[in-house]
Each structure stands twice: as structure tokens, then as C-alpha cells.
Chains A and B, each alone.
Chain A
Amino acid sequence: MSQELYIDPKRCQGHARCWSIAPETFGIDEEGFAYVLPGREGAYDEESAQKAIKNCPERAIKVRDVEVGK
């Protein structure tokens, strides 16, 4: 098992706090909703990602377990 960062699309409302705090990890789509940049799913333990999690007004940034190899 390992872990990955993801954004719950039902929660994200486009505040864009994550993107302004950790632009190396989060992107914003054309309607203003956030996503984890491809390849950055493993960045959950980095300081800036943790700060983004703590500052997300919708509590939409989460970390989940993933099975290795999938």
C-alpha cells in the first residue's frame, strides 16, 4: 500500500487556495476547479501540500490509500 493526494470534486468549489499555496502540486481547470497535477499525487507529505490541506476552505484535499501496482 502507498498513499496519494486527491481532490474530492464534490467538495471543491474553486477557492484556489491550494493552487496559490502549492502551484507545483495543484492545477486549476477552465471552470476554476482544482486538481492534483499529474505525477504529483505522491506529494502529500510535502510541507506546501500539507499547508494547502489545512487552508482548503472546503476540506476537499484528501489523502487516500492506493494499492501498489494499480
Chain B
Amino acid sequence: MAKTKADLENFSYHGDNLDDIFEDYEVMVNECPVGRSKRYGGFAFLAKNDDIFEAEQDYETFSVTPTMLLPDLEMGMPMIPIDLDPPEHTGYRKVLLPLFTPMNIAKLEPGMIETARQLADEVVEAAAANNGVVDVSTLFARPLPTIIFSRLCGYPEEDWPKFDKWVDDVLYERTEHPEIARAASAEILRYFEGIISARKAEGGERNDLMDKIINARVDGRELTLDEMLSYSYLLFIAGLDTTAWGLRSSLWYLAQNPKAQQQLRENPDQIPAAVEEFLRTMSPVQAMARTCMRDTVVQGQEIKAGERVVLVFGAGNRDPEIFEDPHEIKIDREDNRHLSFGGGPHRCLGSNLARKEMVIGIEEFLKRVPAFENAGGEVWHGVGPLTVRLIEE
């Protein structure tokens, strides 16, 4: 049965709720551009593309404090820099800004291609050993961003296998089992405390993200240990899971759309546009929260100071006023001003890295892995398994 306005009272953008969330979005953008859900302590939501855009610019009305995450990640302190508003936010962000320019990310390209090739070869080998059936999430979509981001940050390679479970516990357990998220967050913070003290003891320069954080100066002073931990934690959480989701959902779509798959195999130059469309329609970040700081009115609806407000990027990405046939995935869509990396001062710092990883990942995957189809019936969202069958020509 199709969803109605009444269903939005229980709107959530986590877990199983994502299975049919596009139906919620359709009701939102057409009948309920500003509404309220009772979940997670209650929140108002904005669903129209323009309203979300305006709210992201207006941080004095829509603050990211106490945190952009709803429910929160149980980390115990604000995450730098995403849980801070300008002007405090600005100095912290500047520390890493130069490292994430497209020019700097381009330097990582040879390493990305090599890693993507190795992983794609492993996918083919694993399939050959298992009647053509293979989990391309576990063997490709997840390890690619983990390896690339870990190298960029300088996390020791022997630690990489621990990361997936930590990320899963924080991001995917927190809605039902906050104690599991809390325990994982504590472990992550202990891990970074170890890295930071080891680096300080060793001295020397490494020119990776951990070094930039440890040697950062904000307003002329060094960061405190808590600030370093908070920044490191945020990067860890933001850098690993999102790109894995982006790659997995792209492969999920291609697994059931042989025509699109064939088109991108024959025209790899169309992959960047396809990536934008996958990001628009299946974004790893479906929504982020703010707190309303002063009474305001959006779409004729009052929002009171103190209310939590969720900006539903996924709905704004399917707003018929902005996108023609918004629910259709058109891999050659030309005008694609989607909200998936957010906007305003909190625009995803890693967007240039994520885009590059997705484009290279899909390109190398299609070059090495023969035609594949969905074999496991898994859902579109998340970073769980994605079982495909390679098709014998």
C-alpha cells in the first residue's frame, strides 16, 4: 500500500526504514514539505531542495550544535569540525582544506587505480572458485575506500582489518543498541590516542592527515589532545563508510540494469555523470540534523527555537521542481545539482576524494569483471554484502 502523510509521523532514515524510504520522499515533496516525526526525541524535517539549501547557508538559524548526527554517535564530545558553526568552525576546517583540493586528490590517482585493479582481480578469482557467485561489497566496495583512506591518513596497515566492525558498530548499531556504539566509539578514541602518542614520540614528518592534525595550528595554538581525537574520529567515521556505500549502491544498480552496465563498459567517459546520478538517487548520507536557534517559518510552517530539524537530502534529491523524472535513474543526466555532499560551510570536505574513488572504482571494476547480475536480492542501501553472479559469455 502506498504511503500517506500519516506515515511520516514515524519517519526515520536509518536501518530498515531505508528499504522503502523513496515512498516517504514522494509524499514529502508533494504533500508535506515541512513535517514532524516522533522518532529520536521528535524532529521537524525539511524536504524541498530549495529549503534545504537555504537552511544549510543560514547557520545562525539552523545550527549544527550539539551534533549533526541524529541519533548521535555516542562519542562523548562534539565532532570537529562538523558539529561546530562558523566562525569557530572555520579555523579547524582550514587545517585540512588544502589536502582535499582536486589537484591534491589527483596525486592519489595512480595508487587508487592499482588498488582497484588488484581488488577487481580478486573478485574475478573468488567468483571462479565459487561457480561465478561473489560478494562484491566485501571484496571490492568496502576494502577500496578503507585502503585508500587509510593510506591518506597514515593508519598502520596491520590495523585496517579492525576498522569495518568499528564503523558498523558506531553507524549501524546506534539506533537500536547505543551501548554498542558507545563501546566502539571508546575503542576508536583509544586507538587514536595510541597513534597520536606514538607519532609524538617518534617525531619527524610524514605528510599524511594524522600528521596535519597533530601539527595543526588553529588561532595560533596547537590542538589539545581532545581536539585531535575528535578530529581524527570524525575523519575515520566519515571517510570509510560513505564511499563504500556509494560504490556498493552503484554496483547494486548496475547488477540489475544490464543495459546501463553495458553502456558504461563501452563508454567509460560517461562514468563521472553516472556517479553523480548514483549519488543523487542513492546517497550514502540521506539526511543530516540541525537545531533551530530562533523561531522561524518555512513553507508557512512554524519551527520553534530548540527544535531539532532534519534536512532530508534524499528527498530534496527527488524534488520534481528541480529534477525531471526525479525517481528515475538516468545515468546521463546533465543538470544534477544534488545535495548529497551537503552545502554551505559544511560541504563534505572529502567530496573530491569520494568522487574520484567512485569513478576509478567503477571504471576498473567494469574493465576487469565480466557482465554480472544480482544474485542475492540484497537491499539498495548500506555497506552489507552484495552478491552477484558473473555471466558466462
Contacts and interface: CB of A to CB of B under 8 A. Distances in A.
A65 B35 CA distance: 41
Interface string A7-44: 00000011110011000000010111000000000000
Interface residues of chain A: helix, strand, loop or mixed (majority): loop
Given A31-B94, A32-B98, A58-B344, 16 more contacts: A13-B344, A14-B347, A15-B351, A16-B101, A16-B102, A19-B102, A28-B102, A30-B98, A32-B102, A54-B334, A54-B335, A55-B336, A56-B337, A57-B339, A57-B341, A57-B343
Interface of A: 13-16, 19-20, 28, 30-32, 51, 54-59
B352 interface: yes
B221 to A, nearest CB: 21
A28 B347 contact: no
B346 to A, nearest CB: 8
B33 to A, nearest CB: 19
A54 B338 CA distance: 11
A16 B344 CA distance: 14
B326 to A, nearest CB: 16
Given A16-B352, A28-B101, A28-B102, A57 B335 contact: no
Contacts, number: 53
Nearest to A32: B101
B103 A51 contact: no
B345 interface: yes
B94 A58 contact: no
Q: Would you list the 6 A-B pairs with minimal beta carbon distance, nearest first?
A: A32-B101, A13-B347, A54-B335, A31-B97, A16-B102, A57-B343
A31 B341 contact: no
Most buried by B among A13, A16, A51: A13
Nearest to B340: A57
B336 A20 contact: no
Contacts of A54: 334-335, 337
Contacts of B337: 54-57
Contacts of A58: 343-344, 347
Contacts of B94: 31
B100 interface: yes
B145 interface: no
A46 to B, nearest CB: 15
Nearest to B104: A32
B334 A51 contact: yes
Interface string B310-347: 00000000000000000000000011111101011101
Contacts of B102: 16, 19-20, 28, 32
A32 B106 CA distance: 13
Interface in B90-109: 94, 97-98, 100-103
Contacts of B352: 16, 32
B101 A31 contact: yes
Contacts of A16: 101-102, 351-352
Nearest to A56: B337
Contacts of B334: 51, 54
Contacts of A59: 53
Interface string B341-359: 1011101000110000000
Given A57-B337, A57-B341, A14 B97 contact: yes
B50 to A, nearest CB: 10
B278 to A, nearest CB: 16
B272 interface: yes
Q: Which of B53, B97, B100, B352 has the most CB of A within 10 A?
A: B352
Interface in B278-294: none
A16 B53 CA distance: 17
Nearest to A10: B57
Nearest to B100: A32
Nearest to B348: A15
A15 B103 contact: no
A19 B352 CA distance: 11
A43 B347 CA distance: 27
